A and B are shown apart, each in its own frame.
Chain A
Amino acid sequence: MTTPISSIALVTFGSFIGSFSSLGFKAGSKRLERNLRSVYTNWPLAAGIAGYLLSSVFFILGLKSGELSILFPMVSSGYIWTMIWARVFFHEPFTRGKFAGLALILVGCVLLGLGTRQPG
């Protein structure tokens, strides 16, 4: 079994959407207090959960035809988007360590992509 490009595209698109949901979680976590009201009136948190669910729909559609051992690690491509949004919206600095980490993740995703074309 090999993994079609369409599955890889669905999973990476899902990760792209998922990276927005982590923005919602982060913004929502700042509004959390020790009462239930801060949970159910927390629109960033609700948006984060909705984004998370939407991204898992794309992940599941991608999984339909494709290898789990390729598609699950591909989800890590979402970290790249997350870092960009964290910089834009929360002014979290880019550091050398973060760049090195993302470069390794990118290399890993490319290797996985090559790995789908190789027979075992």
Chain B
Amino acid sequence: MAITTIPPPPDSVILGKVSVTASTPGQKRRSLLMILVFTLLSSAAQVLLKFGTVQLKLHPSLLGLLTNFPLLGGMALYGIGAALMVLALRHGELSVLYPLISLSYVWVAILSVAVFGEVMNPFKIGGICAIMAGVGVLGLGSHK
């Protein structure tokens, strides 16, 4: 029986002058969770933004804009989501996280039917599926 003499991969790999520390399984799990929360937050943000634009139509003024809580709330969720994604990307692999990001297309589709009564048809469902597959393939392809 051959004994493998390959040492275990080091915790820290020196790339040029920057030291890149390998992520622990716990950090990777947290990244996955953060991306899932990100998709939920950003989908909720889209719904709030849409609500806000309806309200803006009723009160088209600067005061109307500044007191437009759905719009401001949507922007805030957007910001929180973006920060969460940056944190998740620090420890997660892009090829795993990117396909998960496309889950937000599913949440938004469900929410637009449930909240705004938008109608689905085969073209829309096909389009959303193609985009999801595309984002997934992009994530896998960018890894090489």
Contacts and interface: CB of A to CB of B under 8 A. Distances in A.
Contacts, number: 134
A114 to B, nearest CB: 5
B121 A108 contact: no
Interface residues of A, number: 40
A73 B127 contact: yes
Interface of B: 46-47, 49-50, 52-53, 56-57, 71, 75, 78, 82, 105, 108-109, 111-113, 116, 118-124, 126-142, 144
Contacts of A109: 127, 131
Nearest to B98: A101
Contacts of B75: 56
A111 B134 contact: no
B134 A110 contact: no
Contacts of B53: 60-61, 63-64
A112 B128 contact: yes
Contact of A69 (B57, B124, B126, B137): B124
Interface string A77-120: 00100000000000000011111111111111111111100111
Contacts of A114: 123, 127
A96 B143 CA distance: 12
A59 interface: yes
Contacts of B126: 108, 111, 115
Contact of A104 (B108, B124, B131, B144): B131
17 contacts: A56-B75, A61-B53, A63-B50, A67-B112, A68-B50, A68-B111, A70-B124, A73-B127, A97-B138, A97-B140, A101-B135, A101-B141, A103-B134, A105-B131, A108-B127, A109-B127, A109-B131
A88 to B, nearest CB: 16
B49 A73 contact: no
A1 interface: yes
Contact of B121 (A76, A106, A115): A115
A95 B144 contact: yes
A110 to B, nearest CB: 7
A76 B108 contact: no
A64 B142 contact: no
Contacts of B108: 68-69, 72-73
Interface string A32-72: 00000000000000000000100010011101100111101
A102 B138 contact: yes
B118 A69 contact: yes
Nearest to B140: A97
